Amino acid sequence: KMKIFNVVLALCAASSSAFHAPTAPLLNQPTATSTSLAGRKTQAVKRVAKAAAPALLFAPKAAFAAAKTAEPSLHLGQKITKTGGIAALAALCGYAGTQLLGGSKKQDFLEATPYWDQSTVPVNTYKNKSPFTGKVVSTKRIVGPKATGETCHIIIDHGGKMPYWEGQSYGVIPPGDNPKKPGKPNAVRLYSIASSRYGDDMTGNTASLCVRRATYWCPELQADDPAKKGICSNFLCDTSPGDEVSMTGPSGKVMLMPEEDPKTDLIMVATGTGIAPYRGFIRRLFMEETPAREAYAGEAWLFLGVANSDALLYDDEWQEAKANPTANGGKLRVDYALSREDTNKKGGKMYIQDKVEEYADEVFNKLDSGAHIYFCGLKGMMPGIQDMLKEVCSGKGIDYDEWLDGLKKNKQWHVEVY
């Protein structure tokens, strides 16, 4: 057994590049939750190799089952081809080799010089009249059965030709004619990018979108009215691997992270899929080997508002990031507002503004000390947020308009709503 184990580890080294080949059929792409720190990756691969080695050459299905049991975080695929052992061995060893030998590789090859310099942020590389054609890598539902609606995580391959920074958006042009302008293409829809610039696979060749399927419930029909469904969100949520997506952008600079001072606190407020840009922030600061992570010494504070626990997005990633502060003491803090499960101080539903208000003193102190605050989600979130902030300012004897103007002047106030 030990001989075979050693063979597997040797083949890992020999075939580590095989996993990057687009034809590798036996393993899923790493999912949105598969990124771990380098040291834990090494141990995970060793556990997989030890579990799978005794059976891999002669019983590949059993070997894969053993590997998945030993380390489910590696997200090994289910499909075993008829060719059996050799193909399975190559795929497993290629993946394990990538994790073992490449897991500690830094994500530093898409950085500015210095890394915090925003003068070279890419903007509008592709425009409406000449969009880029990306290909879907995977589409996955990421909410539970009791969530209010369906939200999907969609990974799109751009081949490194559509680089972006965290906080930017892509435009998507759904196929078909514009129903309001027959003969014309559909209008572009903007989606905040939900991955760091390195993508979920950390190659710099993919981007991820977090999309909620837009539907309309007709009270007369007592059913969803297909004539009023969201054209682009339904197109994206229905995509399969290999499907083409027409894209524009990247666009926007208002949601970029301020990285020049690594002690800067970030306050990130989101409702629903407004979580997208913050996933890019958090992965860059806590889950990837980036210069930003190496330097970060502040607190990133996430407020997320959704209907219930089943509607929480990327919670497993937030918990991993919370458990792994940076070397300089940078840390992630997370608070949820579950409107259908929690109550606010007045006994009503807990909305995002109510959760932020619970920590109003701390939030205001952080902003007075130079923290940046971000808001992303449906535009209906902002009136409640602003009313709450006005009330807090009134209680503190602060002129709200002057206070807000000061934040905007200092570029501490970032809003992207839709």
3-state secondary structure of 50: helix
- CA nearest neighbour of 172 among 250, 245, 276: 245
The residue annotated as part of the active site, out of 36, 192, 195, 251, is: 192
Place of tokens 């998507």: 172
The residue annotated as part of the active site, out of 166, 288, 320, 416, is: 416
Question: Residue 269: CB partners within 8 Å, gap ≥ 6?
Answer: 303, 352, 356, 373, 374, 375, 376, 377, 381, 385
Active site includes 374?
Answer: no
CA 343 from chain centre, in angstroms, equals 28
| Measured distance CA(400)–CA(402) in Å, rounded | 6
Q: What is the DSSP letter of 222?
A: T
3-state secondary structure of 231: helix
Contact 242, 278 (CB under 8 A): no
Active site includes 416?
Answer: yes
Active site includes 164?
Answer: no
Reading across the β-sheet that carries 299-306, which strands appear in turn?
331-338, 299-306, 266-271, 372-377, 413-417
| Measured distance CA(360)–CA(366) in Å, rounded | 10
Contact 236, 162 (CB under 8 A): no
| Measured distance CA(113)–CA(120) in Å, rounded | 9
Q: Are strands 244-251 and 266-271 parallel, antiparallel or unpaired?
A: unpaired
The residue annotated as part of the active site, out of 218, 260, 362, 418, is: 418
Contact 239, 245 (CB under 8 A): yes
Q: Which helix (H) or strand (E) holds 302?
A: strand 299-306
Enter the tokens of residue 337: 């507002």
Active site includes 192?
Answer: yes
The residue annotated as part of the active site, out of 93, 152, 376, 393, is: 376
Backbone phi, psi, residue 345, to 5°: -65, -20
- CA nearest neighbour of 147 among 348, 316, 341: 341
Active site includes 191?
Answer: yes
| Measured distance CA(105)–CA(290) in Å, rounded | 10
Backbone phi, psi, residue 219, to 5°: -65, -30
The residue annotated as part of the active site, out of 164, 191, 314, 336, is: 191
| Measured distance CA(354)–CA(178) in Å, rounded | 40
Q: What are the Cα distances from residue 70, in Å, to 47, 48, 74, 249?
A: 6, 6, 10, 42
Active site residues: 191-192, 376, 416, 418
